[in-house]
Chains A and B, each alone.
Chain A
Amino acid sequence: MLPGPGARKEKNVDIVVLLKQVPATESLIQVADDGVSIKTEELKWVINPYDEFAVEEALRIREAQGGSVTVLSVGTDKAVEAIRTALAMGADTGVLVNDPAALGKGALATARVLAAAVKQIPFDLVIAGQRAVDADQFQVGPAVAEYLRIPNVSMVIKTELLDGSIRCHRTIEGGTVVVESPLPMLFTTQRGLNEPRYASLPGIMKAKKKPLETKTLADFGLDAGALEGPTARIRALSPPAERGGGRIIEGESAAEKAAALVKALHEEAKVI
């Protein structure tokens, strides 16, 4: 059962942001000795950039409407830094699910854990990144919505909060669609939604006093056995092939060069 809307103050919007800590995109990624994972010792870890949009949108909605922002993450001790950063940006509360049994089981298992955790927090809105830039699966957000049996809108670039509902602008190929959904609901973020704020120095000091709870599966009545293993397994990882040199299209005139380019794209690259 979801907490009923009666428990909430009028207009106040309680928001849960799903947040994952991922390797910074500028990190040097190397395949580990086991051939199926990456070396993590030297990596720099950051908040998944799409989740940063989620934190920012949650803060803006709270600033406009009142309410609360809870940041929820499944991860190890390391992820505390990502949550503390979100608290320094202005979120109110952090929850870290830190349980070895919850890790490495794939996107659906992660979504089950997150959904179980969200159920314990009063909420009107769940915001997640469209995908985490490490595994790029695009699954967790929509799957959490499924487990919570609430509507999901993906890849949102603009939101408008209405009375008891939310209007989301989402990108589709060649345009945008505007969808309206009743609350509670979940949406995932797309680049362009907002410009995330920086964790300010006063924010970092305030974050020291904000609650950050650590939970395990037992807190949600889940046991490790309830989470099936991943349905897909990584068999081998290899870095992408080094990019070959570019090629300059020669020609007398722009039209001639364009014709040569189209020919090459069509016949050699076979992309058009």
Chain B
Amino acid sequence: MDFELSMDHEILRDSVRSFAEKEIKPVAQTLDKEETFSYDTMAKMAELGLFGIFVSEEYGGQGMDYLSYIIATEEIARVDGSHAATIAAGNSLGIGPLYYYGSEEQKKKYLPKLCSGEALWAFGLTEPNAGSDAANSKTTAVLDGNEWVINGSKIFITNGSTDISAGSTVMCRTGSREDGRPELSCILVENGTPGYTAKVMHDKMMWRSSNTSELYFEDCRVPKENLLGKRGHGFYQMMETLDGGRLSIGAMGLGGAQGCLDMTVRYANEREQFGRPIATFQANAFKLADMATEIDAARLMLYRACWLRDNEKPFSKEAAMAKLYCSEVMYRCANHAVQIHGGYGLMKEYDVERFYRDQKLLDIGEGTSEVQRIVIARHIGAKCL
């Protein structure tokens, strides 16, 4: 067993950390308050190379391993959840399906500008009436000559309606299978296609400077060639994409928890009550020790899952475990962080206030914690529905 990160992973972590501290941290709370997606920080993240991290160089990617992508996401999440969401969704959900299932033509057409960060791509799975039960999607695509005609809608779609959103991968019913169940396929729809509207969703509790969208399709026509991979493989493609996506949500939990710990150690050593720093009270110090211990366990779990993926071994169970555990570790860390900050932790002047809110998405997005437990239970042979 080798627990040492490579020198390149260390250099990557240091670089992304100082970038996040200097470029994102100072603006994060204001962007959150004003619910603004920042094109300025987006461009800076793109310049650093945070899009297309695991995509090979021939399509404009960085050609790094999955662990590199996870470390980068973790370090951004250590200072802000919304920015980490833009990166995680951009890479795992936007770029991922195009890279893994796209035809050579589709890859050449879309990946270079997605990897350079000039454009974003979204992943349209969830519908108003099909969340955890995503296979029950109602959006339809009917082949009419050389075109798919799409009708329906999607909800909560990250990166779908920014000024630089180039399109979405949309899971649609394209017919019925022999066993009577719906045939699901993924179709690429470019923003600006007639009949397609992407609308920003406002008033979120968390990830307020990340773009979340509703997508509407009304007799939206796209060329037949916009089918992604094989017809009928849509659900399978989406689930496989989510296996990777869960690692990045895990990275957001891990990074967020680490951010909570770092801020809270500093605060507890500085804040004085009863004539001494509050960190000297064991009730507080023990919380910090618990946070550090759980973060360490979470990191080992998440990196092990990445290692499995990088070594082409099955990692679906471990990804679900890491997503579940990292999210819940951040839940406890954010709670301790606010507690130790006292009243100040409830004020927007302190970043822990935002971390506390941002954490909640991690228990819900890309499969709720309950869904992760279902996945894990099935993997270990429990007869879970």
Contacts and interface: CB of A to CB of B under 8 A. Distances in A.
Interface of A: 46, 80-81, 84-85, 88, 198-205, 207-208
Given A202-B49, A203-B49, A205-B57, 20 more contacts: A80-B7, A84-B7, A84-B11, A88-B11, A88-B15, A198-B15, A198-B16, A198-B19, A199-B15, A200-B15, A200-B47, A201-B48, A201-B62, A201-B64, A201-B68, A201-B72, A202-B62, A204-B12, A204-B15, A204-B64
B133 interface: no
B141 interface: no
A197 to B, nearest CB: 9
Contacts of B49: 200-203
B101 to A, nearest CB: 24
A105 to B, nearest CB: 27
Interface string B60-71: 001110001000
A201 B63 CA distance: 9
Closest 4 CB pairs of A and B: A201-B49, A199-B15, A201-B62, A200-B49
Interface string B1-32: 00000011011101110110000000000000
Given A198-B19, A198-B48, A205 B64 contact: yes
A207 B62 CA distance: 13
A201 B12 contact: yes
Given A198-B19, A198-B48, A204 B63 contact: no
Contacts of A202: 49, 62
A208 B12 CA distance: 13
B155 interface: no
Given A200-B48, A201-B72, A85 B11 contact: yes
A199 B12 CA distance: 8
A49 B50 CA distance: 24
B375 interface: no
Q: Mostly helix, strand, loop or mixed at chain A's interface?
A: helix
A81 B50 contact: no
B70 to A, nearest CB: 13
Contact of A201 (B7, B10, B53): B53
Nearest to B53: A201
A48 to B, nearest CB: 14
Contacts of B57: 205
Contacts of B68: 201
A198 B18 contact: yes
Contact of B10 (A81, A203, A207, A208): A81
A205 B48 CA distance: 12
10 contacts: A46-B14, A81-B7, A198-B15, A198-B16, A200-B15, A201-B50, A204-B8, A204-B11, A204-B12, A205-B57
Contacts of B11: 81, 84-85, 88, 199, 204, 207
Nearest to A208: B8
Nearest to B63: A205
Contacts of B48: 198, 200-201
Contacts of B14: 46, 85, 199
Contacts of B16: 198
Nearest to A47: B14
A80 B6 CA distance: 12
Nearest to A44: B14
Nearest to B68: A201
Contacts of A205: 57, 62-64
B92 to A, nearest CB: 16
A88 B53 CA distance: 16
A259 B297 CA distance: 58
A85 B15 contact: yes
A81 B10 CA distance: 9
A46 B11 CA distance: 10
Contacts of A208: 8
Contacts of A85: 11, 14-15
Contacts of A80: 7
B115 to A, nearest CB: 10
A207 B8 CA distance: 9
Interface string B145-156: 000000000000
A203 B50 CA distance: 12
Contacts of A84: 7-8, 11
Nearest to B10: A81
A198 B14 CA distance: 9
A199 B10 CA distance: 12
A50 B53 CA distance: 30
B277 to A, nearest CB: 12
Contacts of A88: 11, 15
Nearest to A82: B11
Interface string B353-378: 00000000000000000000000000
A84 B18 CA distance: 16
Interface in B85-125: none
Nearest to B19: A198
Contacts of A201: 12, 48-50, 53, 62, 64, 68, 72
Contacts of B63: 205
